[in-house]
């Protein structure tokens, strides 16, 4: 017969380790928004959050930190959000990373550009903090197969777009440092204004 101490030792040994917290990279040139999103996602201890102040710094942080998810603004100096998303999606080693665009650009053309650039979700500012946490949770739950299926669905939808819609989405967005938005998986994730 085992003693209480032996049973406790066995229970501790059989207890699975707690799930490691997911790491989220938040990229926004506004310190206020960076801190709001950092606080929103760090609340409750569900995520470790690292930040970057523009797209170029974000790309460096991305390859240094290897986050599980990225929340990125669009209108930033040096490398905008659409360009950042395309860089990550264009790299086979990182193309699986969940990407959420969080931006003040609320037009249909901007949303389409974000989705065509490869974002998993597109959220407009102002946003509801609970909705943002839910969206991050949802994109983190997606599998690479989910992303591949969404890419195929997007390619089919792209063929069904009205004449000029894809061209409008691919043209240069005002204030976007000359970037054209095209070429990636997924659909919009909802927004909360």
What are the pLDDT digits (tens) for 36-56? 999 999 998 999 999 999 999
186: confidence class by pLDDT, cuts 50, 70, 90: very low
pLDDT score of 70 more than 70? yes
Q: What three-state secondary structure class fits 118?
A: coil
pLDDT of residue 169: 41
Residue 111: other Cβ atoms inside 10 A: 19
**Unique residue bearing structure tokens 């998986």:** 185
pLDDT tens track for 145-183: 888 787 777 777 666 655 544 444 433 333 333 332 323
Nearest to 104 by CA among 130, 83, 126: 126
List the chain domain ranges.
20-170
- At 2 the pLDDT is 56
- The per-residue DSSP string of 59-94 comes to HHHHHHH--SEEEE-SS-SSS-HHHHHHHHHTSTTT
For residue 31, give both structure tokens: 């310190």
Give pTM, 2 decimals.
0.74
CATH 3.30.365.10 fits 20-170, yes or no: no
Q: Which residues contact 58 (CB under 8 A, 6 or more apart)?
A: 25, 27, 52, 70, 72, 79, 84
């Amino acid at each position: 017969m085992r003693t209480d101490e032996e049973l406790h030792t066995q229970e501790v040994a059989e207890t699975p380790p707690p799930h490691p917290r997911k790491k989220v990279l938040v990229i926004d040139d506004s310190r206020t928004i960076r801190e709001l999103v950092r606080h929103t996602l760090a609340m409750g201890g569900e995520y470790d959050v690292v930040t970057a102040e523009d797209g170029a710094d974000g790309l460096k942080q991305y390859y240094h930190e290897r986050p599980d998810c990225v929340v990125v603004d669009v209108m930033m100096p040096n490398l905008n959000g659409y360009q950042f998303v395309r860089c990550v999606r264009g790299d086979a080693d990182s193309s699986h990373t969940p990407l959420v665009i969080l931006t003040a650009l609320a037009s249909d053309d901007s949303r389409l550009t974000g989705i065509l650039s490869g974002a998993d979700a597109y959220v407009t500012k102002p946003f509801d903090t609970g909705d943002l946490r839910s969206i991050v949770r949802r994109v983190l739950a997606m599998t690479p197969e989910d992303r591949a299926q969404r890419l195929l669905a997007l390619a089919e939808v792209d063929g069904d777009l009205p004449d000029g819609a894809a061209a409008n989405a691919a043209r240069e967005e005002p204030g976007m440092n000359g970037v054209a938005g095209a070429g990636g998986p997924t659909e919009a994730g909802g927004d909360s204004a």
